[in-house]
Structure 1
Amino acid sequence: MNPSATVPASSSWLAGLVRGRSIKSAAGSGNGASSIPADSEGLGLGSRKNQLRGVLFKYGPKPVQVAFKTGDFNQQVIFIGGLTDGLLATEYLEPLSIALENEKWSLVQPLLSSSYVGYGTSSLEQDSLEIDQLISYLINKENSEGVVLLGHSTGCQDIVHYMRTNFACSRAVRGVILQAPVSDREYRATLPETAAMIDLAANMITEGRGMELMPRDANPDAPITAYRYHSLCAYMGDDDMFSSDLNEYQLRMRLGHMSSTPCQVIFSLADEYVPDYVDKKALVERLCQALGGAEKVEIEWGNHSLSNRVQEAVQAILDFVKREGPKGWDDPWN
C-alpha cells in the first residue's frame, strides 16, 4: 500500500484485516503525536465482522511499533499474539473488545517487531522491551491505571519472559491471562526435519553465528536465525516453557516468578498443536501449580485459537478481568 495515497473518507480501511496464524500450523518510547481514528463508516463497534472502530497510535520509534486500541478507558487489556499473528489474530478479539468496552476497559492490539513474519529475527527479550515501551506509553499518554496482559500461543512466552525482566513498567501489570500456553518444541518435534535443523542451529550458535539465518527448509514460513530456531525447538531453549516433559523443578524455574501476579490459564483440551501422547489435563494442572496456583479454565473440544469456542473464551477472560481488575498500582518511576 502506498502510504502517500489518499484514502476516501467513506473507505473502511481497517475492514477485512486478515487474522494471523500460529507457526505451529506449519510459527525508546514514541512521541505519540498523532493518533489515527478508524471510524468504519460511522458504524458501531464490531457491527461488521473483522471491522472495529478505534484509534491507531505509535508507541515506539520503530515503524512497526503501532497499536490499535478500542475503547477510551484508563484500564487496558493488552493482547500479545503468537508467531505470525498481527491485528485481529483470533476470532474472539472482536467480541472481546465489545465486552470489555461495556465494562469500561480498552483492548489494545500492538504490533511488535516480531509480528507477522518478523518472529524469526526477533527474540523474547526484544518483545519484552517493546511491551515495556507500550505500557510506558499507556501510563504517560493514556493515564493508565494498570493493565492485564493476554497472551495467545507463543505470546504466552513473551508475557512470562516480560514478567521476569522486572522492567519498570511491569509493575503496572495487574493480571496475566495465558491462552493456549503450549510447547512449540513438542509440536515441532513431530516434523521430520526438526532434529537435524536443531543440530545445525546449535553448531551455528557455537561458531558465533547465532544471528545468521537458517536454511529456508528449516522454516518455510519466514526467515529465522539459528538462535531463534534453537530457542523455539531445542530442549530447554529460551522459549521452552510449557513442555510436558519438563520436570517440576524446571517448570518452577521457568514459571515460578509468576506466583506474585494474578494469573489465569485457558487451555483447550482439543488443542491441535499438542501432540496426542500428551495428557492435556495433567499438563495444565502442572502448569498452574508451577505458576503459583494460577486459575485453570479448561475448554472441552476447544481448538488452539478457540475459534470454535469464542463465547466461552470471551466469558472466561471477562470474568477474570472483572474479578482481578486494578485496585491501584505503584508508580513505576518511584
Structure 2
Amino acid sequence: MGYGTSSIQEDVRELDILFTFLREERAKTRLFFIGHSTGCQDAISFASHGRNRAAVQGLVLQGPVSDREFMMSSLDEMYGKYIRLAQRMINDGKGQELMVREVDIAPVTAYRFNSLASVGGDDDMFSSDITFESMQATFGQVKAPLIMVHSGKDEYIPAHIDKERLISNLTNASPSSLGAVVLPDADHAISDLASQTIFCNAVVQFIRKVLITLEQEEKVQEQALGGLSL
C-alpha cells in the first residue's frame, strides 16, 4: 500500500541500499533492472540519479504508461477536482498528508497524486503530449542500454492515444535505446502465457546482447592496456 505514500526520490534511495547490498555483500557486478508500470519511472530515475547507477548494465521497461492520461480518462470530471485539491494541500504545506478517501487509487498523499496526475509531475514521463525535446531531456540522462516493452492491449492507455507514434517518440528520445518490443495480444500485466514467453525471450536476448558488447569492450581495453605496458 506504499504506492500512494512514497515518491520516486524515496524509491531511488531504497534501491541504492539494495544495490549496495548486492554489490558489497553478494559481489554482484553486473545488474539489470526490469521495471513494470510505475517501476519504469523508478528505473529511469535510478539510472539517472542513483548513487549506484553505474552498476546498472541494462534496463527493461515493461508497460511504460502515463498515469496522468489514464487518470484523466478514467476519473472524468473528478480529475480536475482532485488535482485542485492536491495542489491546494501542497500550497498549504500539507503535501505529505493523505487526500480524501474518495480518491480511490490507494491511500495517497497530495504530493503523490500530483506527481502521478499533473502535467510535468515527477512521474509524468510517458505521456503522449510531452514534447520530444522534454522526452530527450528525461531519457538522455540514462547511459545504460534499454528496451521498452509495450502491450498491444494495454488497458491503461486510453483509446484515443496514437500508440505507434508514442512508442516511436519514446524510443527515438532514448539515446541508449536498443529498440522497442510490442506484445500485440498482451494486457498491461502480460497475463497471457504466449505473451509472457515472448517477453521472457526478449529479456534474455537483450541481456545476452548487452553482455556480449561488454565482453568485447573489455577485451579492447585489455589489449590497449597491454600495448601501453609494452
Q: Which amino acid letter does the alignment assign opposite residue 244 of structure 1?
A: S
Quote the offset at 1:293 in angstroms.
Answer: 5.2
Q: Counterpart of 2:141 in structure 1: which amino acid?
A: H
Q: Distance in 2 between matches of 1:152 and 1:289?
A: 20
| 1:12 corresponds to | none
Unaligned 5+ residue runs, structure 1?
1-116, 330-334
Partner of 1:252: 136
Alignment of 1:306-321 (within 5 A): 306-308=190-192, 309-321=195-207
Post-superposition offset of 1:249: 1.4
Partner Cα separation in structure 1 for residue 186 and residue 31 of structure 2: 26
Distance 1:154 1:252 in 2: 19
SS of residue in 1 equivalent to 2:187: coil
Q: Distance in 2 between matches of 1:280 and 1:173?
A: 28
The amino acid across from 2:205 in the alignment is D
Is 1:176 the counterpart of 2:48? The answer is no
Closer, same or farther in 2 for the Cα pair 1:293/1:128, shift >3 Å?
A: closer
Structure 1 position 222, deviation (Å):
2.2
User: Which residues of 2 match residues 37-48 of structure 1 at below 5 A?
Assistant: none
- Provide, for residues 49-86 of structure 1, a one-character-per-residue CA deviation record: whole Å limited to 9, x for no partner: xxxxxxxxxxxxxxxxxxxxxxxxxxxxxxxxxxxxxx
Structure 1 counterpart SS, 2:140: helix
Maintained 8 Å contact 1:150/1:176: yes
Distance 1:221 1:210 in 2: 17
CA distance in 2, matches of 1:300, 1:153: 17
- Distance in 2 (alpha carbons) for counterparts of 1:166 and 1:159: 10
* Structure 2 residue 116 is the aligned partner of structure 1 residue 232: yes
Secondary structure in 1 matching 2:157? coil
The corresponding residue for 1:67 is none
Aligned length: 211
Question: Map of 1:165-204 to 2, 5 A cutoff?
Answer: 165-167=49-51, 169-190=52-73, 191-192=75-76, 193-204=78-89
* Distance in 2 separating the partners of 1:148 and 1:234: 30
Q: Which has the higher contact order (CA 8 A, sep 6+)?
A: 2
Deviations 1:221-257 (A, max 9, x none): 4211100000001111100000001111111122221
Question: In 2, Cα distance between the equivalents of 1:271 and 1:153?
Answer: 11
**Aligned residues: CA RMSD:** 1.7
- Residue 163 (structure 1) aligned with residue 44 (structure 2): no
Uncovered stretches (5+) of structure 2, i.e. residues with no partner:
218-230
1:270, CA displacement in angstroms?
1.4
- TM-score, normalised via structure 2 length: 0.87
- Of residues 127, 130, 137, the one that matches 2:11 is 127
Name 1:144's counterpart in structure 2. 28
Q: Which amino acid aligns with 1:313?
A: F
TM-score normalised to the size of structure 1? 0.61
Percent of residue pairs bearing the same amino acid type: 36
> Matches of 1:212 and 1:166 in 2, distance apart?
26
Amino acid at match of 1:254: T
Letter in 1 for 2:29: E
**Alpha-carbon distance in structure 2 between the residues aligned to 1:221 and 1:211:** 16
1:203 and 1:254 mapped to 2: Cα distance? 27
Counterpart AA for 1:119: Y
- Asked whether the equivalents of residues 125 and 135 of structure 2 are also in contact (C-alpha less than 8 Å), the reply is yes
**SS of match in other structure, 2:211:** coil
Instruction: Supply the distance in 1 between the matched residues of 2:108 and 2:50 (Cα, whole angstroms).
Output: 28
Are the aligned partners of 2:126 and 2:170 in contact in 1 as well (CA < 8 Å)? yes
Q: For the Cα contact (< 8 Å) 1:269–1:281, is it kept in 2?
A: no
1:323: which partner in 2? 209
Task: State the shift of 1:325 in Å.
Answer: 2.5
Counterpart AA for 1:198: I
Which 4+ runs in 1 deviate beyond 4 A? none
Higher helix proportion, which one? 2
Alignment of 1:1-334 (within 5 A): 117-167=1-51, 169-190=52-73, 191-192=75-76, 193-218=78-103, 220-258=104-142, 260-292=143-175, 294=177, 295-308=179-192, 309-325=195-211, 327=214
Q: Any idea what SS the aligned residue of 1:241 has?
A: coil
| Pairwise CA distance, 1:300 | 1.1
